[in-house]
Amino acid sequence: MSIEHRTLTVNGIRMHIAEMGTGPLVLLCHGWPELWYSWRHQLPAIAQAGFHVVAPDMRGFGETEAPADASAYTILHNVGDMVNLVDALGEREAIIIGHDWGAPVAWTAAMMRPDLFRAVVGMSVPQRPRAADLPLKLLRQAGLQNFYWIYFQTPGVAEGEFESDVATTMRKLLYGISGDAPIDRENPMVVPDGQGFLDRLVVAPTLPAWLREEDVATMVREYQRTGFRGGLNWYRNIDRNWELTAPWHDAQIRQPALFIAGTRDPVIAGKRGEIAIEQMTKVVPGVKKVLIERAGHWIQQERPNEVNAALLEFLRTAPG
């Protein structure tokens, strides 16, 4: 059994998918700055367990089409892509799994279409109750005007930084927010005035055991070809997403749900992360949580054996 690749027309765009196996459908939604390749360890494990597992390059990434208009990257577009992908694959339901930005897609898909997505897994990013106001406004009011979400808002700024040396960018990102990065590093989620997002991250003197040179080369090659605009446009819809999801304010996810994260992931580190995980039970009452000690943000790449074990246990007990 090997990974197969094809391109489908999904929700009005061309979408590249990697897939393996036969059986009930499982969708794997990657985040930023990633590709289907982030799931290279999960595809064979899930397929061998008796599932048809599909990992797309998400909208704006890799070989999937990247619309020119930034407004074409809202949460409704991305959830719509997954809804349409299920249909394009000839299926009527799926289990949806997401990491990083793929986690909000998975959580939101489960919330909006419980008839279609019968179980959900979010990795690294917990589902949160809908905020009381525009997220970027709340960040500024809290004195977090240097938070990276805000740095990513102006078109061309982050693109210029990341695309000036893609090889260094990927090495810094993959190592800098992993569990192998220095434990006393400054908060990589904050971009001080006059600096860039990468300035607080370092290149590993040697690659950690979970990351091979060929893995880095795959990511570098693809981002040299596409640039970073597509993925960054997801961030440029954060406030718009809040507006669009108003009809689901206080909605809950009642399907079987699992959250997986590393204890050294900066997304859930500190008091804000503890609060986010605690609040998750308000919107996903039955969620099970698996926290992997000393793992960082790239959880499914850093700790594939532990992640696969948690996923397979969840998939075996999911209904249907």
Give the pLDDT of residue 320.
66
* Ramachandran category for residue 294: left, alpha or beta (phi over 0 → left; psi -120 to 50 → alpha): left
Spatial distance between the Cα atoms of 310 and 45, rounded to a whole number of angstroms: 11
Q: What is the dihedral of CA 151, 219, 302, 230, to 10 degrees?
A: 40
Q: What is the pLDDT of residues 258-278, one digit of tens each?
A: 999 999 999 998 888 888 999
Burial of 206 (0-12, 13-18, 19+ CB in 10 A): exposed
The answer as to CATH 3.40.50.1820 being correct for domain 4-317 is: yes
Active-site residue list = 100, 297
CA nearest 161: which of 222, 227, 235?
227
Paired residues of 19 in beta bridges: 4, 54
The pLDDT tens digits for 47-60 are 999 999 999 999 99
The beta-strand segments (E) located in 100-168 are 117-123
CA 167, 212, 49, 293 dihedral sign is negative
Whole-prediction pTM value?
0.97
pLDDT mean across residues, the chain: 96
Give which of 204, 178, 181 is closest to 262, Cα–Cα: 178
- Quick one: average pLDDT of 188-195? 92
Q: How large is the average pLDDT for residues 309-320?
A: 91
Confidence band of 247 (pLDDT split at 50, 70, 90): very high
pLDDT score of 271: 82
Q: Quick check: 282 pLDDT over 90?
A: yes
